[in-house]
Amino acid sequence: MIETTTLSLGQQLKHAREALNLTIDDVAQKTNLKKNHIESLENDIFILQNVPPAFVRGYVRNYVRFLRLPEELIGSVNYGEVTIPKEVKKAAPIPVKNQKSQTRWVKGLTWLILLGAVGMTLAWWWQEHQKDQASREQLIVNTSENNVATTTSSENSGALTLPATTSASTTDTATTASVVAEPTTTNVEAASTPAQTSSATEPVKTEEVKVEVPATPTAETATQAEQPVNVLQQPTTTETTEVAAEQPQATINEELRIEITGAESWITVRGAKNKRLAEKLYKSGEVLSFNDNEQYRLTVGAPANVKIYYKGQVVPLKVDGRVARFKLPLAN
């Protein structure tokens, strides 16, 4: 018994194995332990590399049970486990006053930063407000000055137009006076001739007739002076009538003609078998023409901006603010 107590755990395992006439291979086969682990345990190596301490304790327990040794030997060896002392000394308490003082200092600093940011934003807003007020006042002053300038210029233009009208009236009166002066002089001469001879009274009457006749050309010239405005307008009316007369001739040659007269309109034209002939947004002035189709299916987005001719005849469109959908030729 004294020898067993003096022997280490590894030596006791080795002696017990040899007493049973077992080799390390025999123990490894029967206990499913590795040979190197058995050799380490018999050499008192209980801290194995890459093997947790709990596993090593399990290996020792199986080996001790296999050799029928007392299990008290298992706890006599350290397997590399960390032993936690039962009584843990309390750590020194951290002074709380310092933390409170630090938190107060941080809070005060944050409040100062926030107040500074709010003050800067308010100052910036006030400056922008002042700039807006100044710009508005300047705009009001400029508009008032412009209004005064326009009123003065209109008054000056009115004052300048008055002499022109007076000069025109004076010229008109001068021309009428010259026209009237000629008959008066001839009348005076005719009146003087009867005083000299009584036989010259009849020629005087004829001269009066001759003098009064030139008054009619003045009226004719006045009417001719007014007529050129109408004469200039007549060719334009004839041209417009000629253009209007030519347009139906162009539409007669086309089976279907679509003219965009307004700003714009969406137009979709489909022929036989639902074949798409045109589909997009057309602008003012564009013209579409189609031929050699038995039937047309039209979709007009803005009927008020479109004129449609089918075989030379205008197709009536209902203008009610909605999209127009119809077929050509129209059903009777």
pLDDT higher than 70, residue 173: no
Predicted pLDDT at 205: 40
Looking at per-residue pLDDT, the higher value among 327 and 219 belongs to: 327
Query: What's the order of all strands across the beta sheet hosting 306-310?
Result: 287-290, 256-260, 306-310, 313-314
- Contact in structure between 96 and 104 (CB atoms under 8 Å): no
Judge whether residue 191 has pLDDT over 70: no
Classify residue 292: in a domain, yes or no.
yes
Domain extent, residue 303, equals 256-328
* Amino acid 287: pLDDT: 92
- Model pLDDT for residues 205-251, shown as the tens digit of each residue: 433 334 343 444 443 443 443 444 443 344 444 444 443 444 444 44
| Domain-embedded: residue 87 | no
Q: Is residue 250 part of a domain?
A: no
DSSP state of 76: G
Q: What is the mean pLDDT of residues 106-133?
A: 92
Residue from 258, 254, 275 nearest 266 by CA: 258
Across residues 130-134, what is the average pLDDT? 87
Under the banding of pLDDT at 50, 70 and 90, the label for residue 121 is: very high
Residue among 55, 40, 52 nearest 10 (CA): 40
Pick the more confident residue, 332 or 138.
138
Single out the residue in 22, 42, 74 at which a domain terminates. 74
Q: Flag whether 298 is in a domain.
A: yes
Q: pLDDT value at position 224?
A: 44
Q: What residues pair up with 325 in beta bridges, in sequence order? A: 299
pLDDT for 50 equals 83
Domain closes at, from 74, 97, 118: 74
Residue 120 has pLDDT above 60, yes or no: yes
Report the CATH number at residue 31: 1.10.260.40
d(CA 15, CA 7): 10
Mean confidence (pLDDT) of the chain: 70
Kindly tell me if the per-residue pLDDT of 16 is higher than 50.
yes
Quote the DSSP letter at residue 88: P
Residue 46 lies in a domain: yes
What's the number of domains the chain is made of?
2
Torsion of CA 10, 11, 12, 18, to 10 degrees: 110
Tokens of 116: 């500074």
Cα–Cα dist 225/217, whole Å: 12
pLDDT at 202: 38
Q: Residue for token digits 């075989």? A: 311
Evaluate whether residue 279 is within a structural domain: yes
Name which of 288, 249, 245 is nearest 265 in CA terms: 288
Q: How far apart are CA 168 and CA 310, in angstroms?
A: 58
Q: Is residue 291 part of a domain?
A: yes
In a domain, 318, yes or no: yes
172, pLDDT greater than 70: no
Burial of 218 (0-12, 13-18, 19+ CB in 10 A): middle
Asked if residue 24 lies in contact with residue 39, where contact means CB atoms within 8 angstroms, the answer is: yes
Q: Which of 65, 66, 61, 86 is nearest to 76 (CA)?
A: 61
Answer with the one of 74, 100, 129 that is the final residue of a domain. 74
What is the per-residue pLDDT across 263-319, written as a single tens digit (0 to 9) for each? 899 999 998 888 888 998 999 999 999 887 778 889 999 899 999 998 888 988 888
Q: Is 80 a residue whose pLDDT tops 80? A: no
